[in-house]
Structure formats: C-alpha cells, structure tokens
C-alpha cells in the first residue's frame, strides 16, 4: 500500500509542477504576447477576452506574481482555460472537450496494442535467438527511425485515392452527423484504420527490441534452467518463467516512454487531419493561439500522468514484491 501512496504523491506533485510550469512559461518569455495578439486579432476581441488574456499571461502590471498565481489556480478549478482565438468565441475547455475522445480512442488503443504485439514478438525473438524473428530487428529499427508523420504521408500517398477503401483524412465521413449509430461508428473506424496502422508500425520496434534484450538476459537465469530441468514444456518456460520476469522492466518502460509516444502520435493526427488534440495543436501553432496551446499541454500532461498511474497498477499486479512491502 505504501508503494501506491508514494506513487500517488509523486503524480500529484508532477501535476502541480506541470501546472506551475504552464503558469510560468509565458511570464518568463521576452516581449508582450498579449499586445501582439491584440494587433493580430484586429479588434475582434472583447474587453473580457483581453482581461482574461492578461490574467493568463500575468502581464497585469497592478498585480503581484503570487496573487496572479492564486488567480490562475482559481480559473483552473472552474475549468476556465481562457478563450480560444482560433475558434473565437469558444472556450478552450469546450474545444478540447470535443477533440479529446478522438485522441483517446486512437492513441490509447493503438499504444496498448502496439505494446502487446511488440512485447510478444520481442519475447519470441529473445527466446529463439538467430531465428527469422531476430532478422526483423534491423527492419523495425529502420521503421522506428522514420518519423511517425512521414510514414503517415507515405501511407496517404500510396494507399488512398478516389477508389481506395482508406479515406485520406478526417475522423468520419463528413456527410454524417456524429451519433451513436452503426453507420457513424463504422465510418469512424474506417477513417481511423490508416492512422492506427501508422502508429502501430512505428511504435512497435522499441518494444520488440527492449523485450528481446530482457529475454536474452533472463534466459540465462538459474530459475529458467531449473524450469527446463524439471522438463516443463518449452512454451510454459518461455511464457510463465522467462517472459513473466522480462516483462517487468518493459512495463515500467512503457509508463516512462508514454510521454514520447503521445508526442509522436499527435503528429499522425496532423497528417491525417484527424479531429483530435494533435490536429488542434497544429491549428493552435499556426494561429499562435496561446490559450489553446497551454490548455492542450495541460490536458495531455494530465492524461499521461493518469496513464502512468494505470501502468503502475499493472506493475503492482505483476510484481508481488511491490505488494508485500508495508
């Protein structure tokens, strides 16, 4: 239990650090971003929006940094992330809320599937060194060196077209209205296939390699030799004895590299014009929509923290040592 409490404390601390970082980034940057924003919006902004911007960026000259910080937290607790310029006059929270489910579905599912397939292949490659699966490793290395987004571009160029099964962009058929019926879900799945395959291909290689290397290390442990000596079937030794232990570092590695993976997968959304957070981020960068960018950063960080916590729970289930303590 103490392990779990420690992890929770760590995540709360990290969330606080991320929010504070978010608070300070615009404040330590040179120049007056609000002024440049006001000139760019050509008077489309209301006084309220300008005021909220000054609070967000902390450029209100009459206030101390501390009271700004308190105010910022107040805004956050009310779910107020400011107004978006790109989708003026929508709230940032609203805009993100519409994009979040798409990203959750695409990135969440593909990351987990990629981890599972990669780990399975890595187990086989490490167990049967020198077999054909081992020869896969240089190939997957090359594939993982390709940026996710470029692989997406190639996939679009090769596989989509007027007659192709795969659509080139968007999250669903633009003729449909989002609803929970079969037609819409089918269309959404069809549109997400190509981005999903892209993410799978580029994210799998890392898992294959790390799992293979762990398997190679574990295979020479005494308990594996003993399991062989007992005459257990090959497959049982591989899965129940070697892989089970080799999996542990891979699970904690999964938790730690989530941040990197999510960053890469967001780009796939950009290439496929998929209506998720990545595409929103792209639009935000194009229009210098700082409140939107900051909101997205916050939401991504919090989701990654949550996913990390889930991975920690999985680790606890797999490794009895963490449960026994305390």
Partner 1 sequence: MATPSVVDATPVAAVPVKAKRRRLRFIASPKAAIGLGMMAFFVILAIIGPFIAPYDPSERSNALVEAPSAAHWLGTTHLGQDVFSQLVSGTRSVILVGLLAGVIATILSLLVGVTSGYLSGAGAESLSALSNVFLVIPALPLIIIITSILPETTDVTIALVIGLTSWAWGARVLRAQTLSLRRRDYVEAARATGEKTWRIIIFEIMPNLTAVIASNFIGTVIFAVTSEITLAFIGVNTSGDNWNWGTILFWAQGQQALAQGAWWWFVPAGLAIALLGTALSLLNFGIDEFVSPRLRGNGKSKVKTVDGHTVRMRVGFTPVLGFGRKDDTL
Question: Please, which residue, 153 or 176, has the CB nearer to partner 1?
Answer: 153
d(CA 289, CA 265): 21
Residue 226 binds to partner 1 (criterion: CB under 8 A): no
Residue 53 binds to partner 1 (criterion: CB under 8 A): no
Q: With contacts defined by CB under 8 A, name the span among 44-52, 91-99, 105-113, 302-310 that binds partner 1.
A: 302-310
d(CA 206, CA 37): 41
Among 109, 221, 248, 319, binds partner 1 (CB under 8 A): 221
CA 57, 58, 60, 63: dihedral to nearest 10 degrees?
A: 170
Nearest to 88, CA basis, from 227, 279, 292: 292
CB within 8 A of 5, min separation 6: which ones? none
Residue 26 binds to partner 1 (criterion: CB under 8 A): yes
Distances (CA, A) of 110 to 8, 76, 80, 123, 275: 26, 30, 31, 20, 16
Chain residues 149-178 in contact with partner 1, contact rule CB under 8 A = 149-151, 153-154, 156-157
CB of 141 to partner 1, least distance (A): 5
Site string for partner 1, 241-270 (x = CB under 8 A): ---------------x-xxx-xxx-xx--x
d(CA 285, CA 271): 15
Among 285, 310, 313, 318, binds partner 1 (CB under 8 A): 285
CB of 34 to partner 1, least distance (A): 12
DSSP string, 230-275: TT--HHHIIIIIIIHHHHHHHHHHHHHHHHHHHHHHHHHHHHTT-S
Q: With contacts defined by CB under 8 A, name the span among 69-77, 110-118, 124-132, 183-191 that binds partner 1.
A: 124-132
Among 75, 86, 217, 322, binds partner 1 (CB under 8 A): 217
d(CA 255, CA 115): 11
Q: Which residue in this structure is represented by tokens 């669903």?
A: 172
CB of 41 to partner 1, least distance (A): 17
Q: Give yes or no for a contact between 267 and 147, defined as CB atoms under 8 angstroms apart.
A: yes
Among 1, 2, 30, 325, binds partner 1 (CB under 8 A): 30
Binding site residues, partner 1, CB under 8 A = 10-11, 13-14, 17-18, 21, 25-26, 29-31, 33, 128-131, 134, 141-142, 144-147, 149-151, 153-154, 156-157, 213, 216-217, 219-221, 224-225, 228, 256, 258-260, 262-264, 266-267, 270-271, 281-282, 285-286, 288, 290, 293-294, 296-297, 300-301, 304-305, 308
């Amino acid at each position: 239990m103490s392990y779990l409490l420690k992890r929770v404390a760590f995540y709360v601390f990290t969330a606080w650090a991320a929010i504070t970082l978010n608070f300070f980034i615009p404040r330590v940057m040179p120049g007056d971003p609000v002024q440049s924003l006001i000139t760019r919006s050509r008077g489309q902004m209301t006084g309220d929006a300008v005021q909220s911007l000054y609070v967000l960026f902390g450029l209100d000259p009459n206030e101390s940094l501390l009271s700004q910080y308190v105010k910022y937290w107040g805004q956050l607790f009310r779910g107020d992330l400011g107004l978006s310029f790109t989708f003026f006059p929508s709230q940032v929270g609203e805009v993100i809320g519409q994009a979040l489910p798409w990203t959750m579905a695409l990135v969440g599912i593909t990351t987990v599937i990629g981890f599972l397939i990669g780990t399975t292949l890595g187990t086989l490659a490490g167990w049967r060194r020198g077999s054909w699966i081992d020869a896969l490793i240089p190939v997957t290395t090359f594939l993982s060196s390709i940026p996710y987004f470029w692989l997406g571009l190639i996939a679009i160029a090769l596989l989509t077209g007027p007659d192709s099964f795969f659509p080139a962009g968007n999250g669903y058929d633009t003729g449909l209205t989002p609803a929970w019926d079969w037609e819409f879900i089918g269309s959404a799945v069809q549109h997400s296939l190509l981005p999903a395959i892209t993410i799978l291909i580029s994210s799998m290689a890392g898992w294959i390699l790390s799992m293979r290397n762990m398997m190679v290390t574990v295979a020479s442990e005494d308990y594996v030799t003993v399991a062989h000596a007992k005459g257990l079937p090959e497959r049982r030794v591989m899965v129940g004895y070697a892989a089970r232990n080799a999996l542990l570092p891979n699970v904690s590695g999964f938790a730690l590299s989530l941040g990197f993976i999510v960053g890469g997968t967001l780009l796939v959304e950009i290439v496929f014009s998929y209506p998720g957070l990545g595409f929103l981020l792209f639009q935000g960068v194009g229009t210098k929509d700082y409140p939107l960018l900051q909101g997205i950063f916050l939401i991504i960080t919090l989701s990654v923290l949550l996913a990390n916590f889930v991975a920690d729970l999985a680790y606890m289930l797999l490794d009895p040592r963490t449960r026994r303590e305390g």
